[in-house]
Chain A
């Protein structure tokens, strides 16, 4: 990297300590992305244990307690280890480059917010090797299952969640400070790329709800070790209170995992449609409305806890209201593509699949929002199908789209388009074979989180497991494609894509170690 250009700046330090001591947003972004990919594979392994066990009725491979540990760890690792760090990694890489900033506003804290994550997940994963086994109470860790009846390893889980929360909070403070204070002159709020906008709103959501999560696990810690009774009815507490506090965090959390995805798709679709994004302003307002509504719908996760009718109706209507701004977004993406000269490179394929399949997930969400119907769907595979449709072809597909879209900018090399398309089609087919039958299973009444099931569910479960293995193993192809691109390939131009707009495409590929040391001029 010692080119003439970099001679008077300093390039990356050499050796392993570069990664320990780095304060460079690109280095930290790369570390976040690699870390999240590692967690994606780990969480994926847990998922494959689940699907292997469910391939046939009866108990084949694991005992029910270990099965429960797998569902718990799969959820926790995927939510906190794969999806969230991947988005933070993308924000680290792209936000400063998109707004013309030289780096993140708080580079040292940035280093710290990444480096505490591996410790959190090592601690969480280490519970698998403990005598008591890993947490087995589901990723939603409802009390008193997670307090009175929890395995001893729950304390490790609590501290791991504390560390993840601290990491997310520091990361979001950094992103807010960067976006609000480091924009290049002329980059007004309403000129910011949508990925930056969605991340600004996501960061505020994180700042608002991660402390509540920290609070609820702290209450658990006190109930378990210090004799308090926040969630124990015997001591005057209330287990339902746990669900209220948890979902007050949990519902904004699901938007934390999807808003940056909206931003990514809003970058990719205009590029490959060779048109400007339709309805930029409405996109910003829709994102803000979704963020606001996310705070007043939490009890739709709790329709069956015995809420009064007025509560059920309020949360039902508030939830359905979210379909309005979300619909605005979906129609804007479709209108952007309308009469565009579309080409179907891998990022665009993932983005279009995102729009279609996320909409499917949104519709099942609308079905679940209907309180009287939810009594039938609650805790069935229908719910599993719903949230996997919004998280896998939703959040995960958008992350993959982003990886293919910006990979040439990061590495300076084009990825192999044929392999990328193969990866897409394997993932697309795999995901639908995996999750679509789960809708039918749920409607037929198969409960979630069970290691064994009644015989009438056998066929759809077998199909679903086949899809899981197709999808799971095709991600190794993704790893291969990324490694291949990092190692070499056709050189990418600065612009990379024909129709791409935005500051990140004005710097050379690969992006120099330091970009925008002097702010760019914004038209």
Chain B
């Protein structure tokens, strides 16, 4: 009887240990979903997530003159963002492979320094993977002194592999006020 009870306690101990490891593992899995999700979105272009900075090289520079794609630009402020923010051109027609530049305008009408962060999104999402930015103000934060204005360039090209059904791409930027996140950072310098 005692022996049996002993066995019993050990096997319960082992089982509980295994279950506890599972609990810790699943807690970790919750956090692992963050990078997994980002990788998944980057591969599939879900959520209109665009990739980071892309080099414009000779191989990508072969221009497809046959095809014209309209690229539209929109800009909006997130809640509490006080800047005036809009594209300086609403849309342009481009050939896939061609390097283009457009400018966005931002003005800080407030009496204080504000740091902005633009987050891009491309729709339709099937096209998100085919709009490559070689330079973008969204890669860094924008720091505007009180009353300051800025023209911000975006250089991009449309990939020749863009699915044939897509004739129009919309590149939208949402501008967030991230001053709080950088509060107390020493000597902010405008780029």
Contact = CB atoms under 8 A, between A and B. Distances in A.
A215 B31 contact: yes
B125 A308 contact: yes
Contact of B47 (A105, A238, A249): A238
B20 A106 contact: no
Interface in B83-134: 117, 119, 125-126
Main SS at interface, chain A: helix
A214 interface: yes
A244 interface: yes
A283 B8 CA distance: 29
B70 interface: no
B181 A177 contact: no
Contacts of A210: 23, 26
Contacts of A219: 30-31, 34
B11 A181 contact: yes
Interface residues of B, number: 37
Given A227-B181, A234-B78, A244 B33 contact: yes
Interface string A37-78: 000000000000000000000000000000000000000000
Interface residues of A, number: 38
A33 B190 CA distance: 62
B23 A181 contact: no
A308 B44 contact: yes
A233 B119 contact: yes
Given A233-B174, A235-B181, A212 B26 contact: yes
Nearest to B22: A207
A241 B15 contact: no
B26 A176 contact: no
B161 interface: no
A491 B12 CA distance: 38
B33 A241 contact: yes
B26 A181 contact: no
B178 interface: yes
A244 B37 contact: yes
Contacts of B28: 215
Interface in B34-78: 34, 37-38, 41, 44, 46-49, 78
18 contacts: A105-B12, A176-B15, A177-B19, A182-B8, A207-B26, A209-B26, A214-B27, A215-B28, A227-B181, A233-B78, A234-B119, A234-B176, A234-B177, A238-B38, A244-B33, A248-B33, A306-B46, A308-B44
The 3 closest A-B pairs by CB, nearest first: A215-B30, A234-B176, A211-B27
